[in-house]
């Protein structure tokens, strides 16, 4: 490993201002700080690291800087703070991850959706509820939701912005409508797709989608269906709990076995 070469770091105030802008824009970012170094002048240097753009600032680490940036991005992908150590360079850095809150989209505003919305908000998710029935999709039934959309369900799902921090639960009033919505999102880079239904019905639907729609098996393998963890849930609140537990399991990289893995 080559010696550390001095670069001009971005002033700390400028880094913190950029961090504040990222927070205001709800953009995931990592603040990387030199906490210990054989070169004392480097201690306290900071940069901001994004997943999809060049870093802001410089740590003054020369050839090692690119490796630090990639290690910080790995921490950002894991959504976890990290302590980076490079003994050969006498260097230690702390990566503080500032992530966007995960976004749960509940497609269907029935009895399961109500407790699921409450649980998701307790777990610090942003929650959107979608249904085409105003008597179901309204603030009286979902006082905790960040957004409630009463409109055509499939069209709304088709037009809804979604990304790698989006979790979608399909619990509409009819299984055919769940499948229609599934077809709108099956190829999107989502964190989670869950669809309610019995094991027999899910198996039949997936076979049909493979045979008639040409949906590849690897795409269907992304879908958590039957939805949730196998805790023997029966009531709407219990089912909502088993769904939210599975979402947290995916979000945190847990080791629990899902119902969909048992099929």
Which residue ranges make up each domain of the chain? 12-98, 103-262
Structure tokens at 219: 């795409």
Tell whether pTM > 0.85. Answer: no
Higher-pLDDT residue of 105, 80:
105
Q: Return the pLDDT at 153.
A: 97
Cα angle for residues 7, 78, 47 (degrees, 5° grid) = 15
Q: What is the pLDDT of residue 33?
A: 94
- For residue 250, CA distances in Å to 12, 108, 177, 194, 257 come to 35, 21, 25, 11, 10
88 token code pair? 């050969």
> What is the DSSP code (8-state) at residue 166?
E
Q: State the DSSP string of 88-146.
A: GGTEEEEEEEE-PPPEEEEE--STTHHHHHHHHHHTT-EEEEEES-TTTSSTTT-TT-S
Mean pLDDT of 12-32: 81
Write down the CATH superfamily of domain 103-262. Answer: NAD(P)-binding Rossmann-like Domain (3.40.50.720)
pLDDT band at 255, cuts 50/70/90? very high
The pLDDT of residue 12 is 64
């Amino acid at each position: 490993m080559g010696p550390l070469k001095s670069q001009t770091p971005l002033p700390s105030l400028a880094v913190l201002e950029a961090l504040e802008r990222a927070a205001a824009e709800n953009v995931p970012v990592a603040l990387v700080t030199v906490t210990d170094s054989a070169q004392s002048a480097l201690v306290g240097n900071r940069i901001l690291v994004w997943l999809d753009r060049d870093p802001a600032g410089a740590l003054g680490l020369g050839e090692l800087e690119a490796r630090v940036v990639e290690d910080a991005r790995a921490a950002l992908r894991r959504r976890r703070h990290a302590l980076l150590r490079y003994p050969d360079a006498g260097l230690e850095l702390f990566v503080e991850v500032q992530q966007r809150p995960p976004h749960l989209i509940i497609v269907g505003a029935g009895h399961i959706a109500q407790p699921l919305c409450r649980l998701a908000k307790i777990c610090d998710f942003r929650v959107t509820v979608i249904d085409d029935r105003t008597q179901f999709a309204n603030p009286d039934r979902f006082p905790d939701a960040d957004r409630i959309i009463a409109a055509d369900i499939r069209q709304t799902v088709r037009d809804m912005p979604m990304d790698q921090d989006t979790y979608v639960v399909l619990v509409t009033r009819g299984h055919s409508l769940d499948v229609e919505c599934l077809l709108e999102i099956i190829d999107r880079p989502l964190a989670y797709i869950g669809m309610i239904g019995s094991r027999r019905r899910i198996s039949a639907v997936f076979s049909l989608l493979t045979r008639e729609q040409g949906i590849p098996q690897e795409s269907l393998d992304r879908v958590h269906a039957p939805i949730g963890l196998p805790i023997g849930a029966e009531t709407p609140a219990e089912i909502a709990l088993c769904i939210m537990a599975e979402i947290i399991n995916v979000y945190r990289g847990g080791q629990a076995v899902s119902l969909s893995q048992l099929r």
